[in-house]
């Protein structure tokens, strides 16, 4: 069957079309994406403005029109942190569903973590054993861990790269004061995870999401001595370098897309603090993430 997976995220609205069959991996057919950065459309009360709602609606309609010729059998539409945390979340969802004729559902943070973990487990297999999965999104950070397909531990924290950039980082390049403020905040917010994950005995985790993929590419390009995976040693060299660059200089780095350049500093700082707190030496990149987890979950439900 042909599924459309509509991901209304904090940075992008992404419609991915996949061909999916029971007992087989989902095969990407086409991808339709709009850059939106929803955190830029929040008012002082934390509600998405009318301009933001219109941008969401227009982007969804455009992506769906671009994929209309593909004859999608079923659309799986979900929204994540930016809409989930908005003060007017219910109103935004109602408006979008009415105007676009879809059934957009808001995922909880725990659901995000669980579906992402499922995707990583299927990709990496049972031989990976006790698995720790990290995902840095635009609005939130998801962490899940366990030996099975359903994680024994899962959590979602409002430590997304876009959210933190908007809240803390000022200037271009970012000022030393704002960087220090974010560093102290991350240390305080992430430190409780050391107790929650104290029994995790490995020094390697799996990373999903564009942020981790971008950081791994930067490491491979600029710090090849650290290998193909993302290491704490690489981040210790990378973070100060990224912090020293202005936006245009970050955009010129081959591994960073224009859409990712504004928030990669915050993303790198989150990744480094996570690895320090959890005593991780290395994060290995898993290409499957939330969208694949949604498809796999749907196929599992059909099979039942």
Does 54 lie in the same domain as 157? no
261 φ, ψ (degrees, to nearest 5):
-55, -40
Together in a domain, 141 and 175: yes
In this structure, are 48 and 136 located in the same domain? no
The CATH number for 9's domain is: 3.30.420.40
Q: Are residues 248 and 119 in the same domain?
A: yes
Tell me how crowded residue 35 is: count the other CB atoms within 10 A of its CB. Answer: 13
Is residue 291 assigned to a domain? no
* Domain region containing 116: 110-285
Q: Are residues 46 and 122 in the same domain?
A: no
For residues 134 and 49, give the distance between their C-alpha atoms in angstroms, rounded to a whole number: 31
In this structure, the strands spanning 2-8 and 282-285 are unpaired
pLDDT at 289: 96
Tens-digit pLDDT string for the chain (304 aa): 999 999 999 889 999 999 998 888 899 999 999 999 888 899 999 999 999 999 999 999 999 999 999 999 999 999 999 999 999 999 999 999 999 999 999 999 999 999 999 999 999 999 999 999 999 999 999 999 999 999 999 999 999 999 999 999 999 999 999 999 999 999 999 999 999 999 999 999 999 989 999 999 999 999 999 999 999 999 999 999 999 999 999 999 989 988 899 999 999 999 999 999 999 999 999 999 999 999 999 998 876 5
**Distance separating alpha carbons of residues 186 and 60, to the nearest angstrom:** 33
Q: Are residues 248 and 199 in the same domain?
A: yes
Please give the angle made by the CA atoms of 207, 116 and 17, to the nearest 5 degrees.
Answer: 110
151 and 97 together in one domain: no
Longest dimension (CA), the chain: 55
pTM above 0.75, yes or no: yes
Q: Does a structural domain hold residue 142?
A: yes
Domain final residue pick, 87, 106, 125 = 106
Question: In terms of domains, do 121 and 266 share one?
Answer: yes
List the structure tokens of 80.
Answer: 């994540």
Q: Same structural domain for residues 125 and 211?
A: yes
CATH number at residue 244: 3.30.420.150
> Which of the listed residues 76, 106, 136 is the one where a domain comes to its end?
106
> Based on the domain organization, do 84 and 140 belong to the same domain?
no
86 and 123 fall within a common domain: no
Total domains, the chain: 2
Burial 152-190 (b: 16+ CB within 10 A, else e): ebbbbeebbbbbbbbebbeeebbeeeebeebbebbeebb
Domain end (from 106, 125, 151) = 106
277 in the same domain as 159: yes
How does DSSP classify residue 108? Answer: P
């Amino acid at each position: 069957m042909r599924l459309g997976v509509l991901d209304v995220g904090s940075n992008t609205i992404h419609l991915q079309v996949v061909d999916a069959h029971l007992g087989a991996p989902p095969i990407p057919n086409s991808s339709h994406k709009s850059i939106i950065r929803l955190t830029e459309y929040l008012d002082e009360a934390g509600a998405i403005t009318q301009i933001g709602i219109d941008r969401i609606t227009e982007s969804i309609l455009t992506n769906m029109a671009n994929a209309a010729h593909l004859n999608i059998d079923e659309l799986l539409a979900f929204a994540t942190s930016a809409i989930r945390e908005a003060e007017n979340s219910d109103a935004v969802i109602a408006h979008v569903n009415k105007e676009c004729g879809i059934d957009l559902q808001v995922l909880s943070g725990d659901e995000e973590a669980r579906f992402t973990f499922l995707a990583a487990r299927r990709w990496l297999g049972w031989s990976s054993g006790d698995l720790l999965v990290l995902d840095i999104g635009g609005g939130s950070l998801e962490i899940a861990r366990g030996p099975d397909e359903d994680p024994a531990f899962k959590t979602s924290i409002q430590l997304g790269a876009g959210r933190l950039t908007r809240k803390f980082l000022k200037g271009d390049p970012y000022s030393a004061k704002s960087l220090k403020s974010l560093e102290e905040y991350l240390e305080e917010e992430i430190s409780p995870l050391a107790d929650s994950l104290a029994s995790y005995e490995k020094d390697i985790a799996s990373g999903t999401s564009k942020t981790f993929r971008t950081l791994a590419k930067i490491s491979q390009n600029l710090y090849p001595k650290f290998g193909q995976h993302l290491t704490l040693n690489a981040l210790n060299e990378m973070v100060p370098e990224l912090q020293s660059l202005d936006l245009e200089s970050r955009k010129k780095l081959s591994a960073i897309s224009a859409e990712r350049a504004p928030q990669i500093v915050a993303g790198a700082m989150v990744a480094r603090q996570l690895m320090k707190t959890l005593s991780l030496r290395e994060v290995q990149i898993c290409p499957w993430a939330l969208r694949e987890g949604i498809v796999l979950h749907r196929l599992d439900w059909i099979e039942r």
